A and B are shown apart, each in its own frame.
Chain A
Amino acid sequence: MFSLFQYDFIVRAFAAGLITAVVAPAIGMFLVVRRYSLMADTLAHVSLVGVAVGLLTNTNPVLGSLIAAVIASIAIEGLRESKKVFGESILALFLSGGLALAVVIVSLGHGFSVNLMSYLFGSITTVSATDISIIAAAGAIILIALAVFYKEFFSVAFNEELSAASGMNVRAYNVALIVLAAVTVSLSMRIVGALLIGALMIIPTVSAIQFKMSFKKTLALSMGFSLFAVISGLFASYYFNLASGGTIVVIALLVFCLSLLANKGLKG
Protein backbone atom coordinates (compact mmCIF):
# COMPACT_ATOMS: atom_id res chain seq x y z
CA MET A 1 0.00 0.00 0.00
CA PHE A 2 2.77 2.43 0.95
CA SER A 3 4.63 1.87 -2.29
CA LEU A 4 5.25 5.60 -2.45
CA PHE A 5 8.03 5.21 0.13
CA GLN A 6 10.19 3.53 -2.50
CA TYR A 7 10.96 7.06 -3.70
CA ASP A 8 13.70 8.90 -1.82
CA PHE A 9 12.05 12.28 -2.30
CA ILE A 10 8.89 11.03 -0.57
CA VAL A 11 10.89 9.71 2.37
CA ARG A 12 12.57 13.11 2.65
CA ALA A 13 9.24 14.90 2.35
CA PHE A 14 7.78 12.81 5.17
CA ALA A 15 10.84 13.30 7.36
CA ALA A 16 10.68 17.07 6.90
CA GLY A 17 6.90 17.00 7.28
CA LEU A 18 6.90 15.09 10.56
CA ILE A 19 9.50 17.39 12.14
CA THR A 20 7.54 20.42 10.95
CA ALA A 21 4.27 18.96 12.23
CA VAL A 22 5.60 18.60 15.78
CA VAL A 23 7.53 21.85 16.00
CA ALA A 24 5.13 24.30 14.29
CA PRO A 25 2.21 24.05 16.75
CA ALA A 26 4.56 23.84 19.75
CA ILE A 27 5.83 27.34 19.01
CA GLY A 28 2.44 28.37 17.60
CA MET A 29 0.77 27.70 20.96
CA PHE A 30 2.84 30.41 22.66
CA LEU A 31 2.24 32.83 19.77
CA VAL A 32 -1.53 32.25 19.85
CA VAL A 33 -1.98 32.80 23.60
CA ARG A 34 0.09 35.98 23.39
CA ARG A 35 -2.00 37.33 20.47
CA TYR A 36 1.01 37.07 18.18
CA SER A 37 -0.68 34.92 15.56
CA LEU A 38 0.40 37.18 12.71
CA MET A 39 4.05 36.94 13.77
CA ALA A 40 4.50 33.61 11.99
CA ASP A 41 3.19 35.01 8.71
CA THR A 42 5.36 38.09 9.02
CA LEU A 43 8.51 36.06 9.63
CA ALA A 44 7.61 33.81 6.72
CA HIS A 45 7.39 36.72 4.30
CA VAL A 46 10.68 38.09 5.55
CA SER A 47 12.32 34.69 5.21
CA LEU A 48 11.51 34.82 1.49
CA VAL A 49 14.24 37.44 1.25
CA GLY A 50 16.69 34.77 2.39
CA VAL A 51 15.23 32.28 -0.09
CA ALA A 52 15.58 34.78 -2.93
CA VAL A 53 19.18 35.54 -1.98
CA GLY A 54 19.87 31.80 -1.76
CA LEU A 55 18.43 31.18 -5.22
CA LEU A 56 20.28 34.16 -6.66
CA THR A 57 23.67 33.24 -5.19
CA ASN A 58 23.18 29.51 -5.55
CA THR A 59 23.45 28.85 -1.80
CA ASN A 60 21.00 26.83 0.28
CA PRO A 61 17.69 28.76 0.39
CA VAL A 62 16.60 27.12 3.67
CA LEU A 63 19.74 28.38 5.36
CA GLY A 64 19.21 31.82 3.78
CA SER A 65 15.62 31.96 5.04
CA LEU A 66 16.77 30.95 8.52
CA ILE A 67 19.26 33.82 8.69
CA ALA A 68 16.77 36.37 7.27
CA ALA A 69 14.00 35.32 9.68
CA VAL A 70 16.23 35.37 12.77
CA ILE A 71 17.60 38.84 11.95
CA ALA A 72 14.07 40.13 11.28
CA SER A 73 12.74 38.59 14.51
CA ILE A 74 15.31 40.44 16.60
CA ALA A 75 14.59 43.69 14.72
CA ILE A 76 10.83 43.26 15.25
CA GLU A 77 11.21 42.70 19.00
CA GLY A 78 13.58 45.69 19.26
CA LEU A 79 11.13 47.95 17.44
CA ARG A 80 8.23 46.66 19.53
CA GLU A 81 10.08 47.48 22.73
CA SER A 82 11.04 50.96 21.55
CA LYS A 83 7.27 51.62 21.31
CA LYS A 84 7.84 53.99 18.39
CA VAL A 85 5.51 51.98 16.15
CA PHE A 86 2.33 50.08 17.10
CA GLY A 87 2.88 46.34 17.48
CA GLU A 88 0.51 45.42 14.64
CA SER A 89 1.98 48.04 12.31
CA ILE A 90 5.45 46.62 12.87
CA LEU A 91 4.22 43.25 11.62
CA ALA A 92 2.62 44.89 8.56
CA LEU A 93 5.87 46.76 7.84
CA PHE A 94 7.98 43.63 7.89
CA LEU A 95 5.40 41.46 6.15
CA SER A 96 5.01 43.61 3.04
CA GLY A 97 8.57 44.91 3.22
CA GLY A 98 9.95 41.38 3.23
CA LEU A 99 7.80 40.30 0.31
CA ALA A 100 8.72 43.43 -1.69
CA LEU A 101 12.42 42.90 -1.16
CA ALA A 102 12.15 39.22 -2.08
CA VAL A 103 10.30 40.05 -5.30
CA VAL A 104 12.93 42.64 -6.25
CA ILE A 105 15.75 40.16 -5.66
CA VAL A 106 13.88 37.52 -7.65
CA SER A 107 13.46 39.85 -10.59
CA LEU A 108 17.22 40.51 -10.53
CA GLY A 109 17.91 36.88 -11.36
CA HIS A 110 15.61 35.99 -14.25
CA GLY A 111 14.35 32.50 -14.62
CA PHE A 112 14.02 31.00 -11.16
CA SER A 113 10.48 32.16 -10.48
CA VAL A 114 9.22 28.59 -10.93
CA ASN A 115 11.66 27.46 -8.28
CA LEU A 116 10.43 30.24 -5.98
CA MET A 117 6.87 28.92 -6.32
CA SER A 118 7.86 25.81 -4.40
CA TYR A 119 8.95 28.00 -1.48
CA LEU A 120 5.74 29.98 -1.56
CA PHE A 121 3.37 27.03 -1.50
CA GLY A 122 5.47 24.05 -0.46
CA SER A 123 6.42 21.12 -2.56
CA ILE A 124 7.11 17.53 -1.61
CA THR A 125 9.34 16.86 -4.58
CA THR A 126 12.04 19.39 -3.83
CA VAL A 127 13.24 18.57 -0.28
CA SER A 128 16.99 17.94 -0.55
CA ALA A 129 19.18 15.86 1.75
CA THR A 130 20.84 19.09 2.93
CA ASP A 131 17.41 20.52 3.73
CA ILE A 132 16.69 17.48 5.90
CA SER A 133 19.89 17.94 7.91
CA ILE A 134 19.12 21.62 8.49
CA ILE A 135 15.48 20.91 9.37
CA ALA A 136 16.39 18.09 11.76
CA ALA A 137 19.05 20.13 13.56
CA ALA A 138 16.85 23.21 13.87
CA GLY A 139 13.88 21.09 14.98
CA ALA A 140 15.94 19.45 17.71
CA ILE A 141 17.17 22.83 18.98
CA ILE A 142 13.60 24.17 19.14
CA LEU A 143 12.22 21.17 21.01
CA ILE A 144 15.09 21.14 23.52
CA ALA A 145 14.75 24.90 24.12
CA LEU A 146 11.01 24.48 24.66
CA ALA A 147 11.49 21.59 27.06
CA VAL A 148 14.09 23.47 29.11
CA PHE A 149 12.29 26.84 29.24
CA TYR A 150 8.69 25.59 29.12
CA LYS A 151 7.84 26.96 32.60
CA GLU A 152 9.40 30.33 31.86
CA PHE A 153 7.61 30.65 28.52
CA PHE A 154 4.35 29.66 30.22
CA SER A 155 4.78 32.23 32.99
CA VAL A 156 5.64 35.07 30.59
CA ALA A 157 2.80 34.09 28.25
CA PHE A 158 0.32 34.10 31.14
CA ASN A 159 1.37 37.49 32.51
CA GLU A 160 4.43 39.57 31.63
CA GLU A 161 3.99 42.00 34.52
CA LEU A 162 3.80 39.27 37.15
CA SER A 163 6.83 37.54 35.68
CA ALA A 164 8.85 40.76 35.66
CA ALA A 165 7.81 41.60 39.23
CA SER A 166 9.14 38.26 40.42
CA GLY A 167 12.51 39.02 38.83
CA MET A 168 12.28 37.06 35.57
CA ASN A 169 14.07 38.46 32.52
CA VAL A 170 10.92 38.88 30.43
CA ARG A 171 12.77 40.57 27.58
CA ALA A 172 15.17 37.66 27.15
CA TYR A 173 12.30 35.16 27.01
CA ASN A 174 10.43 37.33 24.49
CA VAL A 175 13.46 37.49 22.21
CA ALA A 176 14.07 33.75 22.62
CA LEU A 177 10.48 32.90 21.70
CA ILE A 178 10.45 35.03 18.58
CA VAL A 179 13.83 33.70 17.43
CA LEU A 180 12.51 30.14 17.92
CA ALA A 181 9.45 31.15 15.87
CA ALA A 182 11.76 32.41 13.12
CA VAL A 183 13.62 29.10 13.04
CA THR A 184 10.32 27.20 12.93
CA VAL A 185 9.14 29.25 9.98
CA SER A 186 12.30 28.49 8.01
CA LEU A 187 12.19 24.78 8.57
CA SER A 188 8.47 24.60 7.72
CA MET A 189 8.94 26.41 4.45
CA ARG A 190 9.87 23.38 2.33
CA ILE A 191 6.71 21.47 3.12
CA VAL A 192 3.96 24.03 3.69
CA GLY A 193 5.47 27.02 1.91
CA ALA A 194 6.04 30.56 3.16
CA LEU A 195 2.51 31.75 2.50
CA LEU A 196 0.95 28.94 4.52
CA ILE A 197 3.34 28.38 7.43
CA GLY A 198 1.39 30.70 9.70
CA ALA A 199 -1.62 28.46 9.23
CA LEU A 200 0.22 25.33 10.36
CA MET A 201 1.53 27.13 13.43
CA ILE A 202 -1.81 28.63 14.40
CA ILE A 203 -4.73 26.47 13.21
CA PRO A 204 -3.89 23.25 15.13
CA THR A 205 -3.51 25.32 18.31
CA VAL A 206 -6.80 27.18 18.01
CA SER A 207 -8.46 23.85 17.20
CA ALA A 208 -7.02 22.21 20.32
CA ILE A 209 -8.02 25.17 22.53
CA GLN A 210 -11.68 24.42 21.69
CA PHE A 211 -11.46 21.28 23.84
CA LYS A 212 -10.86 23.32 27.01
CA MET A 213 -8.04 21.31 28.48
CA SER A 214 -4.91 22.19 30.42
CA PHE A 215 -2.09 24.06 28.67
CA LYS A 216 0.02 20.92 28.41
CA LYS A 217 -2.79 18.75 27.04
CA THR A 218 -3.80 21.49 24.59
CA LEU A 219 -0.19 21.58 23.37
CA ALA A 220 -0.14 17.80 22.94
CA LEU A 221 -3.48 17.78 21.12
CA SER A 222 -2.37 20.57 18.78
CA MET A 223 0.66 18.45 17.84
CA GLY A 224 -1.67 15.52 17.21
CA PHE A 225 -3.89 17.60 14.93
CA SER A 226 -0.86 18.96 13.12
CA LEU A 227 0.62 15.47 12.57
CA PHE A 228 -2.73 14.29 11.21
CA ALA A 229 -2.97 17.25 8.82
CA VAL A 230 0.62 16.89 7.59
CA ILE A 231 0.58 13.10 7.12
CA SER A 232 -2.80 12.96 5.40
CA GLY A 233 -1.93 16.10 3.43
CA LEU A 234 1.29 14.55 2.13
CA PHE A 235 -0.52 11.38 1.07
CA ALA A 236 -3.24 13.37 -0.68
CA SER A 237 -0.65 15.60 -2.25
CA TYR A 238 1.17 12.57 -3.70
CA TYR A 239 -1.84 10.58 -4.92
CA PHE A 240 -3.86 13.50 -6.29
CA ASN A 241 -0.91 15.63 -7.41
CA LEU A 242 -1.90 18.58 -5.22
CA ALA A 243 0.28 21.34 -3.74
CA SER A 244 1.35 19.94 -0.38
CA GLY A 245 1.09 23.18 1.61
CA GLY A 246 -2.43 23.98 0.51
CA THR A 247 -3.64 20.43 1.06
CA ILE A 248 -2.19 20.30 4.58
CA VAL A 249 -3.74 23.62 5.55
CA VAL A 250 -7.15 22.71 4.10
CA ILE A 251 -7.11 19.52 6.19
CA ALA A 252 -6.07 21.51 9.29
CA LEU A 253 -8.99 23.86 8.64
CA LEU A 254 -11.40 20.91 8.42
CA VAL A 255 -10.09 19.73 11.80
CA PHE A 256 -10.69 23.24 13.14
CA CYS A 257 -14.31 23.22 11.94
CA LEU A 258 -14.91 19.85 13.59
CA SER A 259 -13.29 21.15 16.78
CA LEU A 260 -15.63 24.14 16.82
CA LEU A 261 -18.61 21.77 16.50
CA ALA A 262 -17.21 19.61 19.28
CA ASN A 263 -16.84 22.71 21.46
CA LYS A 264 -20.51 23.52 20.87
CA GLY A 265 -21.31 19.94 21.83
CA LEU A 266 -19.24 20.26 25.02
CA LYS A 267 -21.07 23.42 25.99
CA GLY A 268 -24.53 22.22 25.03
Chain B
Amino acid sequence: MVKKNLAKKKLIELRNVHFSYGDNVVLEDVSFSVNAGDYVGVIGPNGGGKTTLLSIMLGLLKPSSGQVLIFGKKLSDLKRERAHIGYVPQRLSQLDANFPATVYEIVASGRTAGNGPFHVFSKNDKDAVERALAIAKIGELRHKLIGDLSGGERQRVMIARSLAGEPQVLVLDEPTTGVDIASQEQFYHFLAELNHQHGLTIIFVSHDIDIVANEVHSLLLINRKVVSYGPAKDMINKHYLDDLYGGKIDFTFHPHHHH
Protein backbone atom coordinates (compact mmCIF):
# COMPACT_ATOMS: atom_id res chain seq x y z
CA MET B 1 0.00 0.00 0.00
CA VAL B 2 1.09 3.54 -0.70
CA LYS B 3 2.41 5.78 2.01
CA LYS B 4 1.36 9.38 2.28
CA ASN B 5 4.48 10.74 0.52
CA LEU B 6 2.97 9.69 -2.80
CA ALA B 7 0.03 12.05 -2.38
CA LYS B 8 -0.83 14.14 -5.46
CA LYS B 9 0.45 11.50 -7.86
CA LYS B 10 -2.22 10.75 -10.48
CA LEU B 11 -3.16 7.08 -10.24
CA ILE B 12 -6.01 7.00 -12.73
CA GLU B 13 -6.69 9.58 -15.41
CA LEU B 14 -9.36 9.65 -18.11
CA ARG B 15 -9.05 12.15 -20.98
CA ASN B 16 -12.07 12.84 -23.20
CA VAL B 17 -13.34 9.29 -22.93
CA HIS B 18 -16.30 8.34 -25.09
CA PHE B 19 -18.02 4.98 -25.02
CA SER B 20 -20.96 3.70 -27.01
CA TYR B 21 -22.65 0.40 -27.73
CA GLY B 22 -23.66 0.85 -31.37
CA ASP B 23 -25.75 4.04 -31.51
CA ASN B 24 -26.27 4.09 -27.75
CA VAL B 25 -23.89 6.64 -26.25
CA VAL B 26 -23.06 5.58 -22.70
CA LEU B 27 -20.22 7.98 -21.87
CA GLU B 28 -19.56 11.30 -23.52
CA ASP B 29 -16.35 13.31 -23.15
CA VAL B 30 -15.52 12.08 -19.67
CA SER B 31 -12.34 13.55 -18.17
CA PHE B 32 -11.17 13.35 -14.58
CA SER B 33 -8.29 12.06 -12.52
CA VAL B 34 -7.94 10.34 -9.18
CA ASN B 35 -4.87 11.18 -7.10
CA ALA B 36 -3.03 9.01 -4.64
CA GLY B 37 -4.72 9.13 -1.25
CA ASP B 38 -8.13 10.21 -2.59
CA TYR B 39 -11.41 8.70 -1.47
CA VAL B 40 -13.78 9.20 -4.39
CA GLY B 41 -17.44 8.30 -4.63
CA VAL B 42 -18.80 7.78 -8.13
CA ILE B 43 -22.57 8.24 -8.11
CA GLY B 44 -25.24 8.53 -10.72
CA PRO B 45 -28.57 7.05 -11.79
CA ASN B 46 -28.82 3.49 -13.05
CA GLY B 47 -28.07 3.51 -16.75
CA GLY B 48 -25.95 6.64 -16.29
CA GLY B 49 -22.74 4.85 -17.24
CA LYS B 50 -21.29 4.12 -13.78
CA THR B 51 -20.57 0.47 -14.43
CA THR B 52 -19.17 1.19 -17.89
CA LEU B 53 -16.90 3.86 -16.43
CA LEU B 54 -15.71 1.39 -13.83
CA SER B 55 -15.00 -1.28 -16.44
CA ILE B 56 -12.98 1.26 -18.43
CA MET B 57 -10.96 2.25 -15.35
CA LEU B 58 -10.22 -1.43 -14.72
CA GLY B 59 -9.24 -2.05 -18.34
CA LEU B 60 -12.08 -4.54 -18.85
CA LEU B 61 -13.55 -2.33 -21.61
CA LYS B 62 -11.75 -0.18 -24.15
CA PRO B 63 -13.16 3.32 -24.69
CA SER B 64 -14.53 4.11 -28.17
CA SER B 65 -12.27 7.14 -28.12
CA GLY B 66 -10.20 9.08 -25.60
CA GLN B 67 -7.34 8.09 -23.36
CA VAL B 68 -7.06 6.11 -20.14
CA LEU B 69 -3.88 6.39 -18.11
CA ILE B 70 -3.34 4.07 -15.18
CA PHE B 71 -0.34 4.82 -12.97
CA GLY B 72 0.63 7.31 -15.72
CA LYS B 73 0.76 4.64 -18.43
CA LYS B 74 -1.54 3.59 -21.24
CA LEU B 75 -3.33 0.32 -20.56
CA SER B 76 -1.50 -1.41 -23.40
CA ASP B 77 1.83 -0.51 -21.77
CA LEU B 78 0.79 -1.92 -18.40
CA LYS B 79 1.79 -5.43 -17.51
CA ARG B 80 1.98 -6.78 -13.99
CA GLU B 81 1.15 -3.31 -12.61
CA ARG B 82 -2.50 -4.00 -13.33
CA ALA B 83 -2.43 -6.34 -10.38
CA HIS B 84 -2.04 -3.24 -8.19
CA ILE B 85 -5.59 -2.14 -8.90
CA GLY B 86 -7.64 -3.92 -6.28
CA TYR B 87 -11.18 -4.63 -7.46
CA VAL B 88 -14.13 -5.65 -5.34
CA PRO B 89 -17.06 -6.58 -7.58
CA GLN B 90 -20.77 -6.06 -7.18
CA ARG B 91 -23.15 -8.77 -5.99
CA LEU B 92 -20.90 -10.44 -3.46
CA SER B 93 -23.97 -12.34 -2.34
CA GLN B 94 -23.97 -14.08 -5.71
CA LEU B 95 -20.49 -15.47 -5.21
CA ASP B 96 -20.67 -19.18 -5.67
CA ALA B 97 -21.58 -20.49 -2.23
CA ASN B 98 -20.47 -23.98 -3.16
CA PHE B 99 -17.03 -23.00 -4.38
CA PRO B 100 -14.82 -25.34 -2.37
CA ALA B 101 -12.14 -22.98 -1.10
CA THR B 102 -11.09 -21.57 2.24
CA VAL B 103 -10.81 -17.89 3.10
CA TYR B 104 -7.02 -18.27 3.14
CA GLU B 105 -6.92 -19.79 -0.36
CA ILE B 106 -9.07 -16.99 -1.76
CA VAL B 107 -7.12 -14.21 -0.07
CA ALA B 108 -3.84 -15.79 -1.21
CA SER B 109 -5.15 -15.85 -4.80
CA GLY B 110 -4.90 -12.05 -4.68
CA ARG B 111 -1.14 -12.51 -5.13
CA THR B 112 -1.43 -14.60 -8.31
CA ALA B 113 -1.74 -11.90 -10.99
CA GLY B 114 1.11 -9.81 -9.57
CA ASN B 115 3.46 -12.78 -9.29
CA GLY B 116 2.71 -14.29 -12.67
CA PRO B 117 3.13 -17.95 -13.61
CA PHE B 118 6.16 -20.06 -12.59
CA HIS B 119 6.26 -18.24 -9.25
CA VAL B 120 6.66 -20.25 -6.05
CA PHE B 121 4.64 -18.89 -3.11
CA SER B 122 7.30 -17.29 -0.91
CA LYS B 123 7.70 -15.92 2.62
CA ASN B 124 7.05 -12.50 1.13
CA ASP B 125 3.71 -13.74 -0.27
CA LYS B 126 2.74 -15.32 3.04
CA ASP B 127 3.52 -12.09 4.88
CA ALA B 128 1.38 -10.06 2.46
CA VAL B 129 -1.53 -12.49 2.94
CA GLU B 130 -1.15 -12.32 6.74
CA ARG B 131 -1.14 -8.50 6.63
CA ALA B 132 -4.27 -8.51 4.46
CA LEU B 133 -6.05 -10.94 6.81
CA ALA B 134 -5.07 -8.77 9.80
CA ILE B 135 -6.16 -5.46 8.23
CA ALA B 136 -9.51 -6.97 7.20
CA LYS B 137 -9.77 -8.55 10.69
CA ILE B 138 -10.62 -11.97 9.30
CA GLY B 139 -7.59 -13.91 10.58
CA GLU B 140 -9.84 -16.22 12.61
CA LEU B 141 -11.92 -17.09 9.54
CA ARG B 142 -8.93 -18.33 7.54
CA HIS B 143 -9.87 -22.02 7.56
CA LYS B 144 -13.57 -21.46 6.89
CA LEU B 145 -15.10 -22.13 3.51
CA ILE B 146 -16.26 -19.04 1.62
CA GLY B 147 -19.75 -20.54 1.39
CA ASP B 148 -20.11 -20.70 5.18
CA LEU B 149 -19.65 -16.94 5.68
CA SER B 150 -22.18 -14.12 6.08
CA GLY B 151 -22.48 -11.37 3.47
CA GLY B 152 -20.44 -8.95 5.57
CA GLU B 153 -17.69 -11.50 6.14
CA ARG B 154 -17.48 -12.35 2.44
CA GLN B 155 -17.12 -8.68 1.68
CA ARG B 156 -14.10 -8.49 3.98
CA VAL B 157 -12.63 -11.59 2.35
CA MET B 158 -12.90 -9.96 -1.07
CA ILE B 159 -11.27 -6.79 0.24
CA ALA B 160 -8.53 -8.85 1.89
CA ARG B 161 -8.01 -10.62 -1.44
CA SER B 162 -7.43 -7.25 -3.06
CA LEU B 163 -5.17 -6.06 -0.22
CA ALA B 164 -3.03 -9.20 -0.54
CA GLY B 165 -2.04 -7.96 -4.01
CA GLU B 166 -0.70 -4.78 -2.35
CA PRO B 167 -2.88 -2.44 -4.40
CA GLN B 168 -2.30 1.25 -4.93
CA VAL B 169 -5.97 1.81 -5.49
CA LEU B 170 -9.09 -0.06 -4.42
CA VAL B 171 -12.12 0.04 -6.73
CA LEU B 172 -15.44 -1.06 -5.25
CA ASP B 173 -18.65 -1.56 -7.24
CA GLU B 174 -21.81 -1.28 -5.10
CA PRO B 175 -20.10 -3.44 -2.50
CA THR B 176 -22.88 -3.27 0.07
CA THR B 177 -25.51 -4.91 -2.13
CA GLY B 178 -26.98 -7.80 -0.17
CA VAL B 179 -25.32 -6.84 3.11
CA ASP B 180 -27.35 -5.91 6.20
CA ILE B 181 -27.33 -2.34 7.55
CA ALA B 182 -25.20 -3.04 10.64
CA SER B 183 -22.52 -4.72 8.53
CA GLN B 184 -22.72 -1.86 6.06
CA GLU B 185 -21.89 0.69 8.75
CA GLN B 186 -18.94 -1.36 9.97
CA PHE B 187 -17.86 -1.67 6.38
CA TYR B 188 -17.85 2.09 5.76
CA HIS B 189 -15.88 2.55 8.95
CA PHE B 190 -13.39 -0.05 7.73
CA LEU B 191 -12.99 1.70 4.36
CA ALA B 192 -12.40 5.06 6.06
CA GLU B 193 -9.71 3.39 8.16
CA LEU B 194 -8.03 1.92 5.04
CA ASN B 195 -7.98 5.34 3.43
CA HIS B 196 -6.99 7.29 6.52
CA GLN B 197 -4.53 5.00 8.29
CA HIS B 198 -3.12 3.03 5.39
CA GLY B 199 -3.24 5.81 2.81
CA LEU B 200 -5.05 3.59 0.33
CA THR B 201 -6.76 5.36 -2.58
CA ILE B 202 -10.39 4.29 -2.83
CA ILE B 203 -12.92 4.63 -5.65
CA PHE B 204 -16.40 3.69 -4.57
CA VAL B 205 -19.19 3.29 -7.14
CA SER B 206 -22.71 3.47 -5.76
CA HIS B 207 -26.27 4.57 -6.30
CA ASP B 208 -26.66 5.07 -2.56
CA ILE B 209 -26.16 8.85 -2.52
CA ASP B 210 -26.57 9.81 1.10
CA ILE B 211 -24.32 7.17 2.61
CA VAL B 212 -21.61 7.64 0.03
CA ALA B 213 -21.71 11.44 0.30
CA ASN B 214 -21.13 11.20 4.03
CA GLU B 215 -18.16 8.89 3.69
CA VAL B 216 -16.08 9.98 0.72
CA HIS B 217 -13.91 13.09 0.28
CA SER B 218 -14.72 13.77 -3.37
CA LEU B 219 -17.80 13.04 -5.41
CA LEU B 220 -17.90 12.35 -9.12
CA LEU B 221 -21.46 12.76 -10.34
CA ILE B 222 -21.92 10.95 -13.62
CA ASN B 223 -24.87 10.77 -15.98
CA ARG B 224 -23.38 10.04 -19.39
CA LYS B 225 -21.24 13.16 -18.91
CA VAL B 226 -19.41 14.30 -15.81
CA VAL B 227 -22.11 16.38 -14.12
CA SER B 228 -19.72 17.55 -11.45
CA TYR B 229 -16.53 16.51 -9.67
CA GLY B 230 -15.28 18.05 -6.46
CA PRO B 231 -15.15 17.90 -2.67
CA ALA B 232 -18.13 16.01 -1.29
CA LYS B 233 -19.11 18.73 1.18
CA ASP B 234 -19.52 21.32 -1.62
CA MET B 235 -21.53 18.94 -3.71
CA ILE B 236 -24.31 18.09 -1.33
CA ASN B 237 -26.85 20.56 -2.54
CA LYS B 238 -29.96 20.06 -4.51
CA HIS B 239 -28.75 21.86 -7.62
CA TYR B 240 -26.29 19.16 -8.63
CA LEU B 241 -28.52 16.31 -7.68
CA ASP B 242 -31.33 17.81 -9.75
CA ASP B 243 -28.97 17.84 -12.71
CA LEU B 244 -28.02 14.29 -12.01
CA TYR B 245 -31.39 12.73 -11.37
CA GLY B 246 -33.50 15.16 -13.36
CA GLY B 247 -35.16 16.45 -10.17
CA LYS B 248 -36.98 13.18 -9.63
CA ILE B 249 -35.10 12.19 -6.54
CA ASP B 250 -34.83 14.31 -3.46
CA PHE B 251 -31.62 14.04 -1.46
CA THR B 252 -33.54 13.08 1.66
CA PHE B 253 -34.87 10.04 -0.13
CA HIS B 254 -32.92 6.96 0.75
CA PRO B 255 -33.05 4.57 -2.18
CA HIS B 256 -32.98 1.16 -0.54
CA HIS B 257 -33.09 -1.68 -2.97
CA HIS B 258 -34.71 -4.90 -1.96
CA HIS B 259 -33.42 -8.16 -3.32
Inter-chain contact total with CB atoms closer than 8 Å: 78
Are the C-beta atoms of B60 and A164 separated by less than 8 Å? yes
- Chain A, interface size category, equals 20 to 34
Find A162's partner among B81, B89, B101 (CB 8 Å cutoff): B89
- The winner among B59, B82, B95, B112 for most chain A CB atoms within 10 A is B112
Are the C-beta atoms of B58 and A165 separated by less than 8 Å? yes
- Measured CB to CB, the closest approach of chain B to A5, in angstroms, equals 36
- The winner among A159, A163, A209 for most chain B CB atoms within 10 A is A159
Find B109's partner among A155, A212, A218 (CB 8 Å cutoff): A155
Are the C-beta atoms of A216 and B113 separated by less than 8 Å? no
- Which B residues touch A168, using CB under 8 A? 112-113
- Which B residues touch A164, using CB under 8 A? 60
- Which B residues touch A162, using CB under 8 A? 87, 89, 161
- Which A residues touch B165, using CB under 8 A? 166
Interface assignment of A151: CB less than 8 Å from any CB of chain B? yes
Which residue on B lies nearest to A218, using beta carbons? Answer: B100
Produce 1/0 per residue, B95-123, CB < 8 A to A.
Answer: 11011111011100100111101110100
- Which A residues touch B89, using CB under 8 A? 159, 161-162
- Chain B, interface size category, equals 35 or more
Which residue on A lies nearest to B102, using beta carbons? Answer: A214
Are the C-beta atoms of B78 and A167 separated by less than 8 Å? yes
Produce 1/0 per residue, A227-265, CB < 8 A to B.
Answer: 000000000000000000000000000000000000000
Interface assignment of A140: CB less than 8 Å from any CB of chain B? no
Interface assignment of A86: CB less than 8 Å from any CB of chain B? no
Are the C-beta atoms of A215 and B87 separated by less than 8 Å? no
- Measured CB to CB, the closest approach of chain A to B76, in angstroms, equals 12
- Measured CB to CB, the closest approach of chain B to A194, in angstroms, equals 28
Which residue on A lies nearest to B84, using beta carbons? Answer: A166
- Which B residues touch A163, using CB under 8 A? 112-113
**Nearest 5 pairs of A and B residues by beta carbon:** A167-B82, A166-B113, A215-B101, A165-B87, A165-B58
Contacts A155-B109, A161-B60, A166-B87 aside, 14 further interface pairs with beta carbons under 8 A come to A148-B117, A151-B115, A151-B119, A152-B117, A154-B105, A158-B109, A164-B60, A165-B59, A166-B112, A167-B59, A167-B83, A212-B148, A214-B145, A215-B102
